[in-house]
């Protein structure tokens, strides 16, 4: 099929790349908190969906959903800090499994609260950007997807510069390297952790707002986003931004092809299977050297 219908291939590649940039943005947030706080946040996907609902809500009240890209991260930042203060600060220094379970609990909580607040329907915020046709109208490219990819790249670049230049960014990087040393040198690690979690939530908010414009959102759709970002992070490694971007886009393309070839009902399943396959591949590769993933 890939060679018989080249236009579908082009379509899938383009869709996948634009989608992958969004995944990379979410994964960057995950890599950030994983690297700094040593926490795996299962509720990552639910934060994304919550950010999406903020944009959708604005759309319902007649504000153009693109403004959600600005509003949603601000609200999400405070929600993130709130979650940190209530739950995450108690699991930071403990076993990783504790953090996985605790955030799993948060994830279930968020899912259900969103289900109450916004209903169980699949919704999308219509941006009204229209579509671009390419190659004799054989390939359709919604402008909203281009917009979302552009915004994600802008946000990613801003964040990288912020992390490099600002005082908080330096404090975050110092804490990631060695929390104890940073504490001794006068970094308020508690504040750094809160800010990191807030920034992560804000990134999820941006990604969610973009997803609500380009795709659809649903209260129970969070977990796949978590798994995708986890997968991207383990492929790329922590703190490797180009790697995150590349593997994010690769995952996007893989998903589009899985969608076309296997059918939409196997799309999510194939994502989860890919995660298992990647982990198994790395496990066998490492076990030859008598090492293991850790």
Q: Given the rule CB under 8 A, which residues bind other proteins?
A: 40, 87, 90-91, 94, 96-98, 100-102, 104-113, 115-116, 223, 227, 230, 234, 263, 265-266, 268-270, 272-273, 275-276, 279-280, 283-284, 286-287, 292-294
- The one-character DSSP state at 217 is B
**Nearer of residues 115 and 138 to other proteins, judged by Cβ:** 115
What is the three-state SS of 40-55?
A: CCCCHHHHHHHHHHHH
Cβ atoms 154, 25 nearer than 8 A: no
Would strands 139-142 and 131-134 be described as parallel, antiparallel, or unpaired? antiparallel
Closest CB 54 distance from other proteins, rounded Å: 20
**Nearer of residues 91 and 244 to other proteins, judged by Cβ:** 91
Name the burial class of residue 64, with classes exposed (0-12), middle (13-18) and buried (19+) by CB atoms within 10 angstroms of its CB. Answer: middle
Closest CB 107 distance from other proteins, rounded Å: 8
**Nearer of residues 169 and 239 to other proteins, judged by Cβ:** 239
Please state, as a whole number, how many other Cβ atoms lie within 10 Å of the Cβ of residue 114: 21
Closest CB 258 distance from other proteins, rounded Å: 12
**Nearer of residues 107 and 247 to other proteins, judged by Cβ:** 107
Question: How far is Cα 291 from Cα 288, in angstroms, rounded to an integer?
Answer: 7
Closest CB 253 distance from other proteins, rounded Å: 20
Query: Cα-Cα-Cα-Cα dihedral of 37, 40, 43, 48, to 10°?
Result: 80
Please state, as a whole number, how many other Cβ atoms lie within 10 Å of the Cβ of residue 115: 13
**Nearer of residues 67 and 266 to other proteins, judged by Cβ:** 266
Closest CB 293 distance from other proteins, rounded Å: 5
């Amino acid at each position: 099929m890939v060679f018989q219908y080249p236009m579908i291939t082009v379509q899938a590649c383009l869709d996948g790349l634009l989608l992958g940039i969004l995944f990379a943005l979410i994964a960057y947030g995950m890599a950030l908190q994983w690297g700094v706080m040593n926490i795996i946040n299962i509720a990552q996907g639910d934060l994304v969906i919550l950010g999406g609902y903020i944009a959708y809500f604005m759309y319902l009240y007649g504000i153009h959903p693109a403004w959600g890209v600005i509003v949603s991260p601000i609200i999400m930042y405070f929600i993130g800090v709130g979650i940190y203060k209530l739950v995450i600060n108690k699991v930071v220094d403990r076993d990783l499994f504790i953090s996985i379970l605790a955030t799993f609990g948060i994830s279930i909580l968020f899912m259900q609260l969103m289900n109450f607040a916004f209903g169980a329907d699949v919704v999308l915020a219509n941006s009204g950007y229209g579509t671009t046709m390419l190659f004799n109208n054989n390939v359709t490219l919604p402008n909203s997807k281009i917009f979302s990819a552009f915004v994600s790249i802008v946000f990613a670049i801003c964040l990288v510069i912020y992390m490099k230049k600002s005082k908080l960014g330096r404090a975050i990087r110092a804490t990631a390297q060695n929390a104890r040393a940073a504490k001794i040198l006068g970094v308020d690690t508690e504040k750094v952790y809160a800010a990191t979690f807030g920034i992560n939530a804000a990134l999820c908010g941006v990604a969610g707002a973009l997803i609500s414009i380009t795709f659809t959102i649903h209260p129970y759709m969070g977990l796949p986003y978590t798994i995708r970002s986890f997968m991207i992070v383990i492929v790329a490694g922590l703190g490797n931004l180009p790697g995150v971007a590349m593997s994010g886009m690769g995952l996007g393309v893989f998903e589009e092809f899985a969608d076309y070839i296997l059918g939409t009902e196997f799309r999510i399943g194939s994502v989860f299977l890919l995660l298992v396959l990647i982990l198994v591949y790395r496990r066998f590769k490492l076990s030859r050297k008598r090492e293991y993933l850790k």
